[in-house]
Amino acid sequence: MRIGIPKETFPGENRVALVPNSLLALNKQGFKVIVEQGAGTAAGFSDAEYERRGAQLVADRSEVFSADVILQVRSAGANPEAGASDMPQLTGDQTVIGFCEPLSEPQTISEFAKHGATLFSMETIPRITRAQSMDALSSMATVAGYKAALLAASALPKMFPMMMTAAGTIAPAKVFVVGAGVAGLQSIASCRKLGAVVSAYDIRPAVKEEVESLGAKFLEFDLDTEQAQGSGGYAKEAKEEFYAKQREMMLNAMADHDVVITTAAVPGRKAPILVTKEMVERMQPGSVIVDLAAERGGNCELTCPGETVMHNGVTVLCPVNLPAEVPFDASTMYAKNISTLLLHLTADGAFQLDMDDEITRETLIVRSGEVVHPVVRDALGLPAVEQTAAAVEASATESDSQTEKGNV
């Protein structure tokens, strides 16, 4: 089985799907890896490193897309514009694995299905113990949370740690992290390492222990948080009344902090607005907000994705692809995730898809020219797969019956 690693074409995407060290495990299983020249350069991996690990380097992108399996960081919906030119090269006997935004870009997924290739999504890896080594969302959130802390420290006109100097004592910076998922917890840990005093809030009371284990203070608001945690450990979308009351209670908390890092996101949905213009105006001049949900529209009312906003002396940073800014380690982690998933899906050099397996079932988006993931089908207004199968069977039965009548 040949694996193709194309160079990423999404603007600003510096990651690569496989790194040279990840080739060893695949080579042992008999896979042949074809890498487009320059695919890993932006992440710090030279063509020569890939060749030393047994990869075949090619200059022709179409040759990469002739492989049996295409591994990408951004495929289909995660790269809808530049990636559209790659789709016509796909055939029905090929498989693509990568981030593909199936819940946010269902129409692009529908277009992908027309080319017949099979598609697996790295976003829909279930958060279960045996899938942890495949969980690319958590890996990338770890990188983003770390980078958010560095961005905040760089933009803040204060130092993070407390210092006792001959010129007097410098008070530590006060950081408030909103959302204690993987990115939020990593932001807490990184800010604490830099010496800041950190507080955090999450609508899921269950994360309090994790926040406090990192040395941060967990702020508790008088809110009805019952059933605030959805499947897989993700926060569940709440009603606007809940968010309105939450914003009211966050107002004073934000005014008392130098840095606010927001990380609240709901898979496949626009990020909830948690920080209003009024809340920003209550913060002291020089304060910094880092909105990690900017790519989903942002948690801050003033967020402009990909830009830096100045308002009333407060800096609002709105990064959209932080993992791509730490591409070496982000690629290394992602390569482990995606290669582990590939090995899980294959045996003896071929795909062995067990639809009773939760990992296979949840990550399979398109098969045999049809969108098969139930959530994506629902977003497209398509009937459930079971209904489709039943309709086919009924149609076949009716056809047989008509044939019998004709023969009589």
Q: Could you give the CA distance from residue 192 to residue 172 in angstroms, rounded to a whole number?
A: 10
Reported as a single tens digit per residue, the pLDDT across 37-77 is 999 999 999 999 999 999 999 999 999 999 999 999 999 99
pLDDT exceeds cutoff 60 at 390: no
* pLDDT range class, residue 226, cuts 50, 70, 90: low
- Residues marked active site are found at 127, 132, 135, 138, 234
Q: Which CATH class is domain 142-320?
A: alpha beta
* Residue 280 dihedral angles phi and psi, to the nearest 5°: -65, -40
Reported as a single tens digit per residue, the pLDDT across 2-37 is 999 999 999 999 999 999 999 999 999 999 999 999
CB-based burial, 26-48: b 16+ in 10 Å, e otherwise: beeeebebbbbeebbebbebebe
Contact 345, 353 (CB under 8 A): yes
- Whose tokens are 């961005």? That residue is 151
CATH superfamily of 2-134+330-388: NAD(P)-binding Rossmann-like Domain (3.40.50.720)
Q: Exposure of 54 by Cβ count < 10 A (0-12 exposed, 13-18 middle, 19+ buried)?
A: middle
Six token digits for residue 127:
């958060």
Q: Where are the domains of the chain?
A: 2-134+330-388, 142-320
Mean pLDDT (the chain) is: 90
Fold match flag (2-134+330-388 vs 142-320): yes
Reported as a single tens digit per residue, the pLDDT across 63-117 is 999 999 999 999 999 999 999 999 999 999 999 999 999 999 999 999 999 999 9
